[in-house]
Structure 1
Amino acid sequence: MNTFSQGLRTFYHSLKADKWLFVLTCFAPMLMSLIIWLIFSAHFATQLPVAVVDQDKTTMSRALIRYYDASPTISINKTVEDISSAQALMNKGDVYAIIIIPKYLERETVKGSSPTVTTRYNSQYVLIGKLIKSALVQAHGTFNAMVEIIRNTAATHGNVALAMSEALPINQQITSLYNGKNDYAQFLVAAAVPALWQIIIMAATVLFLEKNKGQLLVQNQARRKTFWLLIKGLLPFSVLFFAQTLLFFMFALMYANWPFNGNFAIMITACFIATIACQSLAAFLYSITLDAARAMSLVAGMAAPAFAFMGITFPSSDMPVLALIWRSLLPASHYIELQNQQMNYGTVLFSTFSNLLSLFAFAVLLVAASYIFYKRQPQGETQC
């Protein structure tokens, strides 16, 4: 208790002396998380602008355009005469995709041929590109089925049921087991917030160590004392960040209605260990440089691209070896796997043990940091 009270005093004086550290510790996590949530609070991407180049201008082509426009995801807000004009609209960012309906679409369809409708979309916007592609495929498939049913109805002398069975011999039902509403806010915010908090925790740790490095580099200070000074200095920050994590989870589960199918005790434990893991990594980086600017550069270089390595928007199984190595060096990558396991899959402790162990292993860096601080103390008679 005495050690923790000393840490609280150091914590208080550090926040009082450094306003940036105060803001970064007390306000930035929740404020930035709220901003991210507000950005994605629409939950669904709808009415994405798409341009159409109708080279056929027939009843069938206009019907196809209406099928596309009926999708809640896209909005056919531009109809242009040539491809170059449509391409110019996409280059300016006015539309996300171009649908090119070929000439003689209706004639070729009636003859039994298979004319090709071409779609060009900007895949640099990964999420938007996937949504547009999915919406167009669904609308196009529905229209194809309608055309086939009409054709078969004539062949079966008006037997609509038989025409439908021939057009759609096998019906399919595709059900999403997780994130059934396709709420992009749920899976993006749930990953973006841990990635952001990782940066904030590491940056706050660097600022704190810069402010108090004099206590860690005292001449003739025992190795054990250096370690405990580091622990008691960082522990109040750990508790505060952990408390804010719990507040955000309460907001996500009770207000945003995010699903949670796992064990809350496992989730709480993982949050606390992940906080310590981020602090340990930051302490190690700072101990190497003993300079806030250089340490911040290392923190930014490692943690800034964390979201890309989480495996949320790009599967980790398809990442090259170098990306997997980088991913393994980030606490947030191990944490997000465990979070997904608990929130979506409801896995048991045994299944999450490997990720918990990976997070706990970062504590070795805290021990290494204390040893580096000890070795970099001014030369003199040493104590054990």
Structure 2
Amino acid sequence: MNRFWRAFAETFRAIFNDRVAMVTLVGAVVLYSFFYPAAYRHQVAVDLPLVVVDQDHSPLSRRLLRKLDALREVQVTGVAGSMAEARGLVERGAAEAVLLVPADFQRDILRGGQGQLALFGNGAVLGRASVAMQGAAEAITAFGQEVAVSQAQFAGIPASPPLQLIERPLFNTAQGYGSSIVPGVAALIVQQTLLIGVVVLAATRRERHGRLRLSRPGLCGIATAFAAIGMLSLLYFSGFVFWFQDYPRAGNLTGLALAGALFIASVVGFALFFGSFFRTRERAFQLITVTSLPMFFLSNLSWPVEATPALLVRFAQLLPSTPGINAMVKLNQMGARLPEVSAELVNLALLTLLYGALAMWRYRPSPEDHG
């Protein structure tokens, strides 16, 4: 037991005395908690500029323009005289999309035909253009239903929209990018900072002592120290950052504590095992640069698991971030109960046993150490 507490205390002392480890394990977590969500501060794209080329100049086309201008997603910045002028606005970045209302638009509708519209988006920035075009398309669809109802009533035929769609988001109530991405990335940040910290201290120990041999109580003391730091980082994100950024929070504290403990335990075992293969401190940062983005995509939070090759799905289950991210999001953002995340919890428990055993094998003391 003395070896355990001595290793526990020495680990914290080594972290506080190592500027790189301290900045990584503490400073990076605090920095990322404000820096990363800043990119998603606006949550959703709003008031994207749209220019209209109205070749009809009819009451019906002006009614359509008023419908478009009432949208949250787009803002009609003006009416261009020609498609060439509208294209110039898009090329200069003054508009994200163009709506063409051809001549005889109203006449075709009043004759019982179909009005033709053309919607063009800026292919240089697909994300913004897709939001603008989707918003405009929804407004045009609603406008078409209103016109159809008006025509039927004018002809003396009682009519009402056959279907009214009411959308109510359950979990991502703001329907924003930050609410859907940052909670999952937070778990990955905790994993990667722990990985860097372990690799930095392991490489430092190797440089000074030339070997990585630890007694089991000593290894457990080191693992416990890193686990304490990891849990504090995870609780900082879940308890403060998500509240400060006003991200969805379900408040399943029991499930979050259990899943968080298993996640951190598996991450520490994972970090200790893979950190034992690095001989220089600088390799840790190269590793993080290469692996962070693939690990996030392999978690299938932003990419459907059904569209992922089966081999990659199986491989991703060997990474703590995959079950950890999914469990944290389900419990903290979606209010899942423990039975609903049982697969992720079992995955994390098995990874804890696997990487814990591998870490003990890698750091096993030599026979002369026992003597």
Instruction: Tell me, yes or no, if the aligned pair for 1:8 and 1:236 is still in contact at 8 Å.
Output: yes
Q: 2:330 aligns with which of 338, 341, 345?
A: 341
Per-residue displacement from partner, 1:273-318 (whole Å, max 9, x unpaired)?
A: 2223233323333323433344543343222333333333332222
- Tell me how far apart the structure 1 counterparts of residues 34 and 177 of structure 2 sit (CA, whole Å): 16
Aligned residues: 370
- Structure 1 window deviating more from structure 2 (247-256 vs 108-117): it is 247-256
TM-superposed deviation, 1:112: 2.1
TM-score scaled to structure 2, two decimals? 0.85
Residue number in structure 1 paired with 2:257: 268
- Structure 1 window deviating more from structure 2 (331-340 vs 33-42): it is 33-42
C-alpha change, 1:324 and 1:185, in structure 2 (3 Å) is: same
Per-residue displacement from partner, 1:85-109 (whole Å, max 9, x unpaired)?
A: 5455545554333333334322222
Per-residue displacement from partner, 1:314-368 (whole Å, max 9, x unpaired)?
A: 3222223354245334322212221232234433322212101212233222431
Per-residue displacement from partner, 1:195-242 (whole Å, max 9, x unpaired)?
A: 3332222212211211223688559x5xxx444433322322221221
- Tell me how far apart the structure 1 counterparts of residues 143 and 370 of structure 2 sit (CA, whole Å): 81
- Structure 1 window deviating more from structure 2 (356-365 vs 343-352): it is 343-352
Other structure's SS at 1:52 match? strand
- Tell me how far apart the structure 1 counterparts of residues 73 and 176 of structure 2 sit (CA, whole Å): 13
1:230 aligns with 2:222: no
Instruction: Tell me, yes or no, if the aligned pair for 2:108 and 2:115 is still in contact at 8 Å.
Output: yes
1:188 aligns with 2:185: no
Given residue 185 of structure 1, which amino acid in structure 2 is its aligned partner? G
Given residue 221 of structure 2, which amino acid in structure 1 is its aligned partner? K
Q: Which runs of 5+ in 1 are unaligned?
A: none
TM-superposed deviation, 1:155: 0.5
1:37 aligns with 2:26: no
- Tell me how far apart the structure 1 counterparts of residues 314 and 106 of structure 2 sit (CA, whole Å): 54
Residue number in structure 2 paired with 1:213: 206
Residue number in structure 2 paired with 1:117: 117
TM-superposed deviation, 1:144: 0.8
- Tell me how far apart the structure 1 counterparts of residues 128 and 65 of structure 2 sit (CA, whole Å): 20
Residue number in structure 2 paired with 1:100: 100
TM-superposed deviation, 1:373: 4.2
1:197 aligns with 2:187: no
Structure 2 counterparts to residues 74-93 of structure 1, below 5 A:
74-83=74-83, 86-87=86-87, 89-90=89-90, 93=93
Q: 1:361 aligns with which of 350, 364, 370?
A: 350
Residue number in structure 2 paired with 1:352: 341
Q: 1:239 aligns with which of 187, 206, 228?
A: 228
Given residue 339 of structure 1, which amino acid in structure 2 is its aligned partner? M
C-alpha change, 1:77 and 1:333, in structure 2 (3 Å) is: farther
Instruction: Tell me, yes or no, if the aligned pair for 1:217 and 1:373 is still in contact at 8 Å.
Output: no
C-alpha change, 1:76 and 1:312, in structure 2 (3 Å) is: farther
Identity %: 20
Instruction: Tell me, yes or no, if the aligned pair for 2:100 and 2:117 is still in contact at 8 Å.
Output: yes
- Tell me how far apart the structure 2 counterparts of residues 97 and 322 of structure 1 sit (CA, whole Å): 40
Instruction: Tell me, yes or no, if the aligned pair for 2:171 and 2:333 is still in contact at 8 Å.
Output: yes
Per-residue displacement from partner, 1:229-256 (whole Å, max 9, x unpaired)?
A: 3332232222122113212222256544
- Tell me how far apart the structure 2 counterparts of residues 361 and 371 of structure 1 sit (CA, whole Å): 17
The CA RMSD over aligned residues, in Å, is: 3.2
Given residue 35 of structure 1, which amino acid in structure 2 is its aligned partner? F
Residue number in structure 2 paired with 1:372: 362
Other structure's SS at 1:114 match? coil
Structure 2 counterparts to residues 91-170 of structure 1, below 5 A:
93-121=93-121, 128=128, 131-156=131-156, 162-163=158-159, 165=160, 168-170=161-163
TM-score scaled to structure 1, two decimals? 0.82
C-alpha change, 1:155 and 1:278, in structure 2 (3 Å) is: same
Residue number in structure 2 paired with 1:65: 65
Instruction: Tell me, yes or no, if the aligned pair for 2:190 and 2:234 is still in contact at 8 Å.
Output: no
1:176 aligns with 2:155: no
Other structure's SS at 1:288 match? coil
Per-residue displacement from partner, 1:124-154 (whole Å, max 9, x unpaired)?
A: 8676455434422321122112211321232
Other structure's SS at 2:56 match? coil
Other structure's SS at 1:100 match? strand
Instruction: Tell me, yes or no, if the aligned pair for 1:7 and 1:235 is still in contact at 8 Å.
Output: no
Given residue 121 of structure 2, which amino acid in structure 1 is its aligned partner? Y
- Tell me how far apart the structure 1 counterparts of residues 247 and 142 of structure 2 sit (CA, whole Å): 32
Structure 2 counterparts to residues 323-338 of structure 1, below 5 A:
323-338=312-327
Other structure's SS at 1:147 match? helix
Instruction: Tell me, yes or no, if the aligned pair for 1:285 and 1:299 is still in contact at 8 Å.
Output: no
- Structure 1 window deviating more from structure 2 (366-375 vs 352-361): it is 366-375
- Tell me how far apart the structure 1 counterparts of residues 59 and 235 of structure 2 sit (CA, whole Å): 58
- Tell me how far apart the structure 2 counterparts of residues 382 and 174 of structure 1 sit (CA, whole Å): 66
Instruction: Tell me, yes or no, if the aligned pair for 1:198 and 1:332 is still in contact at 8 Å.
Output: yes
